[in-house]
Chains A and B, each alone.
Chain A
Amino acid sequence: MVVASSRRSRITLRVIALGYLALLLAIPVAMVFYRTFEHGFGSAWEAVTTPPAQHAFYLTCLMVVIAVPLNTLFGVGLALALVRGRWRGKTLVSAIVDLPFAISPVVVGLALILVYGNSGWIGSWFADNGVRIIFSTPGMVLATIFVSLPFVVREVVPVLREIGTDQEEAAHVLGAGPLQTFWRITLPAIRWGVAYGVILTTARSLGEFGAVAVVSGKIEGQTETMTLFVEQRYQAFDLAGAYAAAVVLALLALAVIAGMTLLDRRKET
């Protein structure tokens, strides 16, 4: 009797949870895939290979190729400095490194315009020397770096704390220099954490919309990334184009999730 009722309530809870996920996530995403391919693969392919679409894809790749390595270098360096070092401003930096997670992307865009815009604190100097940052690629790169900045730090800091310093100290005692210790001891120990951070950074760089929208000026075929292209196609009543580009981004997101799942298993073993 008790067993029967607990079984029934377990199944009720399962149905509610899965139904919620289906209505909120799975069916809407499936719907876009269906709409994209309902007239065949060819028309979808055409929609994402127009020159503006190709340029948008190229720009998105450019964002990833610049932002991810920089944030990875910075992330590993800062994580090391936060966990292993003692320096002035450490507490402050540790507190503000999470801020990009909690700030509205539109505020990020505004903040960058105020500093790097043509009349901004730093931007005016660049403008005098003929370099345009805002409404151009460098500004979009800055926005992408800003929003994806904390991921590597946040993934590497706990790993560094967990592995401790025993092995590093042993390497030091045995005569290894700081660089050698890093390459041979520290980096292999934190590699899965770094990889996880890199995947999250890539996902965020690919998908950023708000901050890039503000600083790009949304110039079609010039400062339009994939996400901006999706919006622009939708606003131009080209639903097929918007859906097809969205499917490309969704496929990349699914690849990201597959990568995370693989790494989760790695980390467990």
Chain B
Amino acid sequence: MSVRADAAALPARPVRGGLARAAGPAVGGALATAYISLIVLIPLAAVVVESTAGGLSAFWSAITGAQAFGAMRFTVVVSLAVVAVNILTGTLIAWVLVRDRFPGKRAINALIDLPFALPTIVAGLVLLALYGPKGPAPFDIGFTRIAVALALLFVTLPFVVRSVQPVLMELDREMEEAAASLGAKPATVFRRVVLPNLVPAIAAGAGLAFARALGEFGSVVLISGNIPFKTEVASVFLFGQIESDNTAGAASVSVVLLVLSFVLLLFVSWISTRGVRRGGG
């Protein structure tokens, strides 16, 4: 992720050349704008319009309704918990993959991308197969809040790992060696020397994981049992509202989710450009 951010921060070179060369990108830009408008922009605008179809009071009562609010609150709380776990485990896994050496490391490194490549419904199914009611695990987490958290941990696993890994690889080890030779213990070296360099990458990965967890649907839908006020997340609640033709109510909750994910995207791009600027000096 930060590799991309590095490249994104390079200044674009000015285009020199004739009018024909400038016209190509302009036409391409117009076509691309039309494509993205028809598929992304107009539909999202329709959601915003639909959410206020009954006026602001209808919007407000839709998002503060007991079931809607309960689902959104549970989604935010469980996503925050999942992000907290990801910050620890993601940093740890990135560390082990970069600094440790053991047989099969390449395969493990490739395995990290599995949650990105595996369809979400399959992710939910595999967790159910092991930890569900008919699974061989000594406990059954099916239809519990733990199950929702587990599904979200599965699908968000790569974000922090893939964000931290490249930064850790580029990190100059001389500083760590200097700190160690001055008598700092390994834990102190990590906390005082390594960690400060990783914070922007961890934050960017955490932001993306949070956005993903907030909107996750496929992996949760089988394993959570979708019990209102208990395991129902926002996207599952939305799905039910759409199926029962309450599009205005669904659009209102969607707008809340849209605003949250937009803010998170802004946060992530702010973090990455800031990190690059500091790194690039």
Shortest beta-carbon distance, B162 to chain A, in Å?
12
Residues of B within 8 Å of A195, CB to CB, are none
Do most interface residues of chain B lie in helix, strand or loop, or is the interface mixed? helix
B8 interface hit (Cβ, 8 Å): yes
Evaluate contact between A146 and B39: CB separation under 8 angstroms: yes
- The interface on chain B, measured as residues whose beta carbon lies within 8 A of the other chain's beta carbons, has a size of 98
Evaluate contact between B130 and A87: CB separation under 8 angstroms: no
Residues of B within 8 Å of A246, CB to CB, are 121-122, 125-126
B139 interface hit (Cβ, 8 Å): no
Evaluate contact between A110 and B250: CB separation under 8 angstroms: yes
Evaluate contact between B10 and A161: CB separation under 8 angstroms: yes
**A215's closest neighbor in chain B, by CB?**
B242
Residues of A within 8 Å of B13, CB to CB, are 164-165
Cβ contacts B30-49/A at 8 Å (1 or 0 each): 11110110011111101101
Task: Determine which of A102, A116, A234 lies in contact with B211 in the assembled complex, contact meaning CB atoms within 8 Å.
Answer: A102
- Known: A103-B215, A113-B242. Contact between A86 and B15, CB under 8 A? yes
- Known: A28-B127, A102-B262. Contact between A249 and B118, CB under 8 A? yes
**A258's closest neighbor in chain B, by CB?**
B110
Shortest beta-carbon distance, B123 to chain A, in Å?
8
Evaluate contact between B254 and A158: CB separation under 8 angstroms: no
A26 interface hit (Cβ, 8 Å): yes
A112 interface hit (Cβ, 8 Å): yes
**A208's closest neighbor in chain B, by CB?**
B119
B59 interface hit (Cβ, 8 Å): no
Evaluate contact between A85 and B44: CB separation under 8 angstroms: no
Residues of A within 8 Å of B30, CB to CB, are 87
- Known: A35-B129, A85-B15, A115-B46. Contact between A107 and B120, CB under 8 A? no
A93 interface hit (Cβ, 8 Å): yes
Residues of A within 8 Å of B119, CB to CB, are 206-209, 226-227, 230, 249, 253
Cβ contacts B242-281/A at 8 Å (1 or 0 each): 1000010011001001100110110000000000000000
Evaluate contact between A169 and B17: CB separation under 8 angstroms: yes
Residues of A within 8 Å of B100, CB to CB, are 10, 13-14
- Known: A9-B186, A89-B33, A234-B125. Contact between A106 and B238, CB under 8 A? yes
Evaluate contact between A261 and B12: CB separation under 8 angstroms: no
Give CA–CA (A54, B50) in the complex, Å.
38
Do most interface residues of chain A lie in helix, strand or loop, or is the interface mixed? helix
**B236's closest neighbor in chain A, by CB?**
A106
Evaluate contact between A231 and B129: CB separation under 8 angstroms: no
Evaluate contact between A29 and B42: CB separation under 8 angstroms: no
Evaluate contact between B26 and A96: CB separation under 8 angstroms: no
A242 interface hit (Cβ, 8 Å): yes
Evaluate contact between B218 and A227: CB separation under 8 angstroms: yes
Evaluate contact between B154 and A24: CB separation under 8 angstroms: yes
Evaluate contact between A87 and B93: CB separation under 8 angstroms: no
B113 interface hit (Cβ, 8 Å): yes
Give CA–CA (A142, B96) in the complex, Å.
41
Can you name 25 A-B pairs with beta carbons within 8 Å? A24-B150, A25-B111, A27-B130, A28-B154, A31-B135, A74-B36, A102-B264, A102-B265, A104-B214, A105-B215, A106-B239, A110-B250, A110-B251, A111-B46, A113-B242, A146-B40, A149-B40, A161-B8, A172-B17, A207-B121, A209-B221, A246-B121, A253-B119, A260-B110, A261-B110
Partner-B contacts on A (CB < 8 A): 6, 9-10, 13-14, 16-18, 20-21, 24-29, 31-32, 35, 74, 77-78, 80-87, 89-90, 93, 96-116, 120-122, 142, 145-146, 149, 154, 157-159, 161-162, 164-165, 169, 172, 177-178, 200, 203, 206-210, 213-214, 226-228, 230-231, 234, 239, 242-243, 246, 249-250, 253-254, 256-258, 260-261
